[in-house]
Structure 1
Amino acid sequence: MEAEERKTAMSHDEMQDYWETLCSFTGEDIPNEVNQLMAKIRYPRFLYKYRAVNNNNLDALRSNKLFFSKASSYDDPFDTFLHIDVEKIRQEFDSNYSSPEALAALANGMKETFQNQPGVPQEFIQQVTTVEGLKQLFADGITKQFLSYVLTLRSKIQDEILSICLSENGFNESLWLKYADMHKGFCLMYDLNDSDSFHCGKQSKCVNCGVYKGGTRIYPVYYSNESHDATDLLKLVMAQEVAQRLGGSLPESIQKDLKPLSWEIERNSLIKKECHKYDEEWRMIANAKMKLPAMIEWVPKGVIIGLRTSQVDKNLIISMAKEAGVKNIYQSYIDETNSLNAYLLTDV
C-alpha cells in the first residue's frame, strides 16, 4: 500500500500534550475546550477496524454499519476501569462519625432526606435519623457495606459508556491475530478525509438519533501506567443514583453539588496501560445515552483480506463489500522486507 496510507499520526510529545490538555479542562467553556482539544489532535488519513468472518460482521460490512460497544463488554477488564481512591471515600464516610456534631448533622440530613418517603420502612428511618441509631450502624460495620456498594457502581458506569474502537494501523500483526481471527478475517479501512462516506446526520432517520445529536468526535487513546483518578465521577454517580431512587429528594446541600463532571467520561475512556500502546487505538465515544444496538453508518474506503482467509470467506467478503459500495479491495501479503503489506485486487 502507499506510504500515505501507513503514516502514524501523533508523536509521544504530541500525545502527552493532548492528554494534559484534556485533563486541564474544567467544563466552564465547553465549546472553547473542544476547539482547544481538536487543535491538539493530529489525525491520520485512515483508521482501521479488524473483523473476524461471521454473520454479524459480514452483515455490518454489507450495510456499512459500525456498532457501539459498552465499556463493560470490552475484552480487557482494565479498559475504562475506574480507578477509585477507596481510602479517600472511606475517610469521607467515616468523617460523619468523627464527632457528636458530625453525627447530629448527619441525623438532621437524614431527616430531611426521608421525611417525605412513605415507601421507606419506618424502622430504617428511625435508625438513620437519630444519633444513637447512627452510632449502632457504624458499630455494625456499615462502612464496609457502603464501600462494597460504591465499588459496584464501576460496572454501572461502564455499562453507560459506549464507544467504537479503531486503530491507525491496518498492518498491526497483534490486531490481525486478536480481532481478525489469526489473519483469517478482514480489516476495514476508513478515510477521514472523505466526508461523503460518513452517512450520519445526512438522512431523515438521523433527526432523533443520539449519535447525531451528541456528536461523533474521534479521539486518540493515551497510554500510561499512571491511572486517572475517577473518584469524583463515582461519587457523582452514587449521588445521582440515590437521588433517582428517592425521587430527587436529597438535602439541598447535596443537590447543589450534583453537577455534571465535564470530560470525565473521555478522561476515563481514553487512557490505557502502556502495554497496549502498540494497538495505536482511536475511539469514537457516544455523547448521549442510547439503548443498544447503537451504530453509525460509514462507507469504508477499502477492505483488506487476511493472509489466511479461506477462498470461501474471501468470496463472501468481496460480495458484501461490493454490495456496500466499497471501491478498493486489497489482499494482504508478506512483502520483500518481510513486512505485512497489501496489494489492490483488480480482478474482482
Structure 2
Amino acid sequence: MDNESYEEIEREAVLGSKKRREFWDTLSRAHGFSKEVRDTVLQARPRVNRLCRFRTFGPGSLKQLRTNTLLFSSPPYYDDPLDTYFYVDKKALQIQFNLIIDAFRGHTLKEIIALLGQFGIPDFNKLRDIIGRAEIEELPLQFDQLNSQIDDIRRIVQNVGYSLCFCDDPLNEVLWLKYADNHKGFVQIYDANCSIRFLCGQKNSCGLCANDDSSLAPFPIYYSNEGYDATRYALALLLLRELPANAKVSCPELIKYLKESIRWEFEKVTLIKRKQHEYDCEWRLLCRGSAEGRPSIQMVPSSVVLGLHMKEAEKRSVVDAAKSAGIKEILQAYIDEGTGKLAIRSYQSTEE
C-alpha cells in the first residue's frame, strides 16, 4: 500500500467522512412525520461511543458542570456566524411572493394555494384536496411584512430550533484551541450509550420541556463544499407565519400539511457545515421549536479533562464542581514526550 492510500485510510478513520455522507444522503430524502421515516433517519446515524463538550473556564461553565446541565444554543449564542452552511435565494423568494401579492391580493386562500403548485411544494395534490375539503371561501391573506421578513430570512430559518455541539475525540487539538480557550479550559466527556447518565424525563416537570424528544440522539455534522438550498423551506416558513389566525383555526389540516412538508428541514439546515471545518468532527443534539430562555438537558459526564494551560486554582474549581456532580474520573491533558502528541492521564493534585 502506498503512502497516499494509507494516509487516506487513516484520515477516514479519524473523520468518518464516508459514514457522515451516507447519513446525509438518507436525511436529504427524509420527508414527513411518519414513524418509518424517523426510524430510517435515526438508524442511518453512524455509531458514536462518546461525546466531548469543550468548555472555557468561568462561572457559567462551572455552574453547568456542577448541576449536570447542558444548554442548547441558538444563533444569538453561536461563536461562529457561519455555524451552518445553507443559503436562501432571496431573489427567487421575492419573485414567488410578488406573484402572490400582485396577482392575488384580496383573493381567497384557494386561489393563492393554487398558485403555490408552481413552486414545487411536495404532495401538492394532497394540499389541493385539503383546501377543497375545508370549503374556505373568503379568507384573504395579508403580506404587509413580507419584504422585511425576506431581508431577515436567514435569522428566521436559523431560529426554528436549537443545537448542542460535541466532538467524539477529547484530544481534538482544533477544538481545544477554538472552544476551550487555547487549552485553558476543560472537556466534559459523556458516554453516548449509557442511558443511566441521561437524567431527562425523570421529573413531572419534564413534560413541559421544549425538548419533546427526551432520547439521546446525537446527529453527525456533514461537511460539504456545496451549501444546502433552503429556499423552499423559507417559503413554507413564511407562509406559516403569514397565514391569518382564522385560517389556522378554520383549516388545521392545512397547517399540519405545511408543517409536515418541512418536517426534516430544520435538521438539514443545522447538520451541514463547510468542508474546511471537517476536522471538528462534530456531532449535535437538536431541539426544535421555540422556548422561553434556552432549553437544556441534564446528563452526567463520565469524566472531565483539565486543559494544559489551566492554573492550579482553576483546576481545583473544576474538580470540586465535578465531584459535586457525581463525576469520579478527573483527567489531565499533557504532551506525551515520546510522541509529541496531546494525551490524557489521571489528574494528580499538586496539593496531594
TM-score (norm 1): 0.79
SS of match in other structure, 1:322: helix
The residue that corresponds to 1:132 in the other structure is none
The residue that corresponds to 2:64 in the other structure is 60
Bigger CA drift: 85-94 or 157-166? Answer: 85-94
SS of match in other structure, 2:331: strand
Structure 1: where are the runs of 5+ without partners? 1-6, 116-124, 129-141
Contact 1:9/1:43, CA 8 A, preserved across alignment: no
The residue that corresponds to 2:42 in the other structure is 38
The residue that corresponds to 2:119 in the other structure is none
Distance 1:210 1:288 in 2: 7
Root-mean-square deviation (Å): 2.9
**How many aligned positions are there?**
307
> Alpha-carbon deviation of 1:42?
2.1
Say if 1:310 and 1:10 are closer, same or farther in 2 by CA, change over 3 A: closer
- CA offsets 1:234-285 (integer angstroms, 9 cap, x no match): 1111112112xx3244898x95763431110000100011111111110000
Distance 1:212 1:64 in 2: 19
Distance 2:272 2:85 in 1: 10
2:149 is the alignment partner of 1:149: yes
SS of match in other structure, 2:258: coil
> Alpha-carbon deviation of 1:290?
2.3
TM-score (norm 2): 0.78
The residue that corresponds to 2:311 in the other structure is 310
Map of 1:15-26 to 2, 5 A cutoff? 15-26=20-31
Contact 2:85/2:272, CA 8 A, preserved across alignment: no
> Alpha-carbon deviation of 1:106?
4.0
The residue that corresponds to 1:120 in the other structure is none
2:286 is the alignment partner of 1:285: yes
Map of 1:171-186 to 2, 5 A cutoff? 171-186=171-186
Bigger CA drift: 105-114 or 77-86? Answer: 105-114
Larger Rg: 1
Instruction: Give the counterpart letter for 1:233 in structure 2.
Output: Y
> Alpha-carbon deviation of 1:212?
4.7
Instruction: Give the counterpart letter for 2:323 in structure 1.
Output: K
What is the percent sequence identity of the aligned residues?
30
The residue that corresponds to 2:7 in the other structure is none
Say if 1:44 and 1:216 are closer, same or farther in 2 by CA, change over 3 A: closer
Distance 2:57 2:72 in 1: 19
SS of match in other structure, 2:107: helix
Instruction: Give the counterpart letter for 1:289 in structure 2.
Output: S
Distance 2:151 2:16 in 1: 36
Bigger CA drift: 56-65 or 233-242? Answer: 233-242
Distance 1:148 1:156 in 2: 11
The residue that corresponds to 2:18 in the other structure is 13
Distance 2:348 2:106 in 1: 77
> Alpha-carbon deviation of 1:206?
2.0
> Alpha-carbon deviation of 1:146?
4.8
Say if 1:196 and 1:275 are closer, same or farther in 2 by CA, change over 3 A: same
Instruction: Give the counterpart letter for 2:221 in structure 1.
Output: V
Contact 1:72/1:158, CA 8 A, preserved across alignment: no
Contact 1:10/1:41, CA 8 A, preserved across alignment: no
The residue that corresponds to 2:245 in the other structure is 247
Say if 1:39 and 1:205 are closer, same or farther in 2 by CA, change over 3 A: same
Contact 2:72/2:162, CA 8 A, preserved across alignment: yes
Say if 1:149 and 1:212 are closer, same or farther in 2 by CA, change over 3 A: closer
Contact 1:189/1:301, CA 8 A, preserved across alignment: yes
